[in-house]
Structure 1
Amino acid sequence: MNKVEYMQSLRKQLRRLPKEDFERAVDYFEEYFSDAGAEEEAQVIENLGTPEFAAEQIIAEIVRKNASAPVKDVKRGLNAVWVGVLAVCAAPLALPLALAFAVMIIAFVFCILAIIVCFIFAGIVLTISGPFCIVAGFTVITVNFPAFLSCLGAGLVSMGIGMLLTFGMIRFCQWFLTGMVRFFGHLIEKGGRKNEQNK
């Protein structure tokens, strides 16, 4: 196997990674080959191991890196969780067990995210309905002052609860995704320790 064949196979193994991680990994291996030079190509391939092994190592490294940093936004958090699922599937477990575990984790993450999205939408609706309630109160201010005060109070409470719910759920989503990424990092670390002990 030469460098071109090795890199083609490696790209195939890494193709499911998020675009940014994929490009960074491919650039790293390209640079590794370039630094060694054409005459050391065979030695580099031997040092790296099979493309499958190299891909497994780079995915595990990405999971470790993601686990050590908090999630800053939802998109990056979902990407990090996806890489964690890939790492678990690439780990040396029985294939059916790994597949069942990956499906279970993906289903769990999407269920929690669906609940979070529902709460966020509820918060947005409450926040938006508050001003309408206040405006409705001003339409009856001359006819029924207590009704105006009720509408004003309900509108302010609605806006307050809505904003609290929306921002609270966004923070909870970040916390949840960070927890999931750290969970995958812990799994990879534990798997790596077991492999070292078995050797």
Structure 2
Amino acid sequence: MTSETAKYMQMLRRYLRKLPDDEIDDIVEFYSEYLADAGIDTKAEIEQELGTPRQLALKILADHSIKEEAEDQRVVSKTKIKTTWLIILTLLATPATLIIGLILLSVLIAIFAVVFSGVVVVISLAGGGIFLTAAAIFTGLSLLFTNLGTGLFYLGIGLLGLGLLLIVIPLVWGCSVWIVKACTRLVQHVYYRYIKKEAAK
């Protein structure tokens, strides 16, 4: 291993420090052998072939996150968001895909702003709905033995509100999860379309 290759691999290790040590060792060994077999040993040649250590690390981390997500279909939204963020960083770190990364980031920020606003509105309405539902049920129960008709009316309204809450809350949660998954698929599609395609060349 030449001194330039050793420096490159040292920087790569630093950027990959979040991965398990054995995986980092395998990655460094693979790319070291790749460069040696190709006869690439200067800094300019290495970065022309693999990109900077940071660019290569972001690609590796993005691939690792996508693979991890694919292996566990029950993966939580937090992991999907992490995958999406890593891919966007990879796009932004590569000059050829910088504009695409900026556009994609702008679109995702706009989507997030709309979803966040919607969730805030739904939470506010749900909070009011819970209060009114509880008040209606309490009023209905308190009037049930003194004024049967009025008590049943309020109790019916309260139970109806409770039923609506049990429908709306899971529906909003499901829509939020679906939007996160859709955004992740969009970002992964762009990643495979541009980053992986360039790597294949």
TM-score, structure 2 as length reference: 0.69
Say if 1:92 and 1:41 are closer, same or farther in 2 by CA, change over 3 A: closer
Query: Is 1:74–1:174's contact at 8 Å kept on the other side of the alignment?
Result: yes
- Could you give the per-residue CA deviations for residues 128-162 of structure 1, whole angstroms, max 9, x where no partner exists? 64333211112222443222111111111111111
How many Å separate the matches in 2 of 1:58 and 1:131?
A: 52
Name the structure 2 match of 1:29.
Answer: 24
Identity of aligned residues (%): 19
How many Å separate the matches in 2 of 1:125 and 1:109?
A: 24
Unaligned runs of 5+ in 2: none
* RCO higher in structure (CA 8 A, sep ≥6): 1
> Which amino acid counterpart does residue 59 of structure 2 have in structure 1?
Q
Name the structure 1 match of 2:189.
Answer: 186
TM-score, structure 1 as length reference: 0.69
Name the structure 1 match of 2:177.
Answer: 174
How many Å separate the matches in 1 of 2:199 and 2:11?
A: 29
How many Å separate the matches in 1 of 2:148 and 2:192?
A: 65
How many Å separate the matches in 2 of 1:102 and 1:140?
A: 56
> Which amino acid counterpart does residue 131 of structure 1 have in structure 2?
A
Structure 2 residue 78 is matched with structure 1 residue 85: no
Unaligned runs of 5+ in 1: 15-21
What is the count of residue pairs matched by the alignment?
A: 187
74-83 vs 171-180, greater mean Cα deviation: 74-83
How many Å separate the matches in 1 of 2:124 and 2:10?
A: 45
How many Å separate the matches in 2 of 1:171 and 1:66?
A: 22
> Which amino acid counterpart does residue 104 of structure 2 have in structure 1?
F
Say if 1:132 and 1:43 are closer, same or farther in 2 by CA, change over 3 A: farther
Say if 1:88 and 1:28 are closer, same or farther in 2 by CA, change over 3 A: same
Query: Is 1:88–1:102's contact at 8 Å kept on the other side of the alignment?
Result: no
When the two chains are superposed, the root-mean-square deviation of aligned CA atoms in Å is: 3.8
How many Å separate the matches in 2 of 1:89 and 1:142?
A: 68
Structure 2 residue 52 is matched with structure 1 residue 57: no
**SS at structure 2 position matched to 1:170:** helix
